[in-house]
Amino acid sequence: MKTRKLGKQGLEVSALGLGCMGLSYGYGPAIQKSEAIKLIRKAYELGITFFDTAEIYGPYLNEEVVGEAIAPFRNDIVIATKFGFNYVNGQPAGLNSKPANIRHAVEGSLKRLKVEAIDLLYQHRIDPNVPIEDVAGAVKDLIQEGKVKYFGMSEAGETNIRKAHAVQPVSALQSEYSLWWREPETKTFSTLEELGIGFVPFSPLGKGFLTGKIDADTKFSDNDFRNGIPRFNIENREANMALVNLVKQMAQQKEATPAQVALAWIHAQKDWIVPIPGTTKIHRLEENTGSVNISLSSGDLTEIQNAISKIDIVGQRYPESSEKMVDKD
């Protein structure tokens, strides 16, 4: 497994991380804890040293699973988690990035993850009611206390990234990015490059769509959040198959899978990008890790770009309630 650096502060991780959310939340029923632990440990065997979770995944359950799974090799990996929500009766109830809540969230995450320090701590979403300077200042205090090592932001816009970075250097921005959602290229890449901030794309496989295993006939389980995503309604899925077919064609040329090509394409964009695909299946995990050995030439990239420019991707990537929490500035 190759490695990459996130940010000028020197945070080094495997070139491919593992997004752990889907083991407990989001894509249907949580898988059995023993199976989740088995998958995380297999990821480590395959060379993955970067594991992503958050207190809201479950809530809390995902951090507990990750904490138990990584215990045997804790000192050899990087754990990222996130703060930023209120909870009422154990369920999310709005944004809250007040310094006191950040500290409370970190104390809880440390216990659930069974670690002495969080390697990379993200603000999960920008809280419009709390100045970002206060958020960055609270994380800076936690870093000075040794409870956190590096600071990250998620779905943040340029203005807030710059303000936060001036208080406490930001090591990584986590936002959605893939062949079918490329907005970060025009919204944040230049800022990240200027400031020396790494980029961690979630949903690098388009929430499973770019694997080629989903079509207009696919039925999602009742508690799969893709049921509420406009881009995944039946008509839009049908229209967006043009992109999947493009990825399949390139995969045939490379004797690879569509997922591997989609991940290799992300790796080819910038050397400070580390995607974190998630999965609940070990054979998919093995498939994803194989992507680091696939190289796309400048000719391949030009061919993909020319083909994509003729494809209209339809449907919003978030339902309205989630879209409101994305920082646009």
Give the percent of the chain with pLDDT over 90.
98
User: Do the beta carbons of residue 229 and residue 209 sit within 8 Å?
Assistant: no
Mean pLDDT of 293-312: 96
Q: Pairing state of beta strands 11-14 and 3-6?
A: antiparallel
pLDDT at 94: 95
Please give the CATH architecture assigned to the domain spanning 3-205+265-294: Alpha-Beta Barrel (3.20)
User: Do the beta carbons of residue 21 and residue 54 sit within 8 Å?
Assistant: yes
Is 57 designated active site? yes
Amino acid identity at 233: N
Q: Is the overall model pTM greater than 0.95, yes or no?
A: yes
Q: How do residues 133-146 score in pLDDT, each as one tens digit?
A: 999 999 999 999 99
User: Do the beta carbons of residue 177 and residue 204 sit within 8 Å?
Assistant: yes
User: Do the beta carbons of residue 61 and residue 25 sit within 8 Å?
Assistant: yes
CA distance 24 to 29: 7
Q: For residue 181, what are the CA distances in angstroms to 126, 156, 319?
A: 20, 16, 15
**Set 25, 57, 60, 122: catalytic member:** 57
Res. 5: pLDDT tops 90: yes
CA distance 285 to 279: 6
Residue with tokens 């498939």: 287
Domain boundaries, the chain: 3-205+265-294
Confidence of residue 329 (pLDDT cuts 50, 70, 90): confident
Mean pLDDT of the chain: 97
Res. 326: pLDDT tops 90: yes
Q: What is the CA radius of gyration of the chain?
A: 19
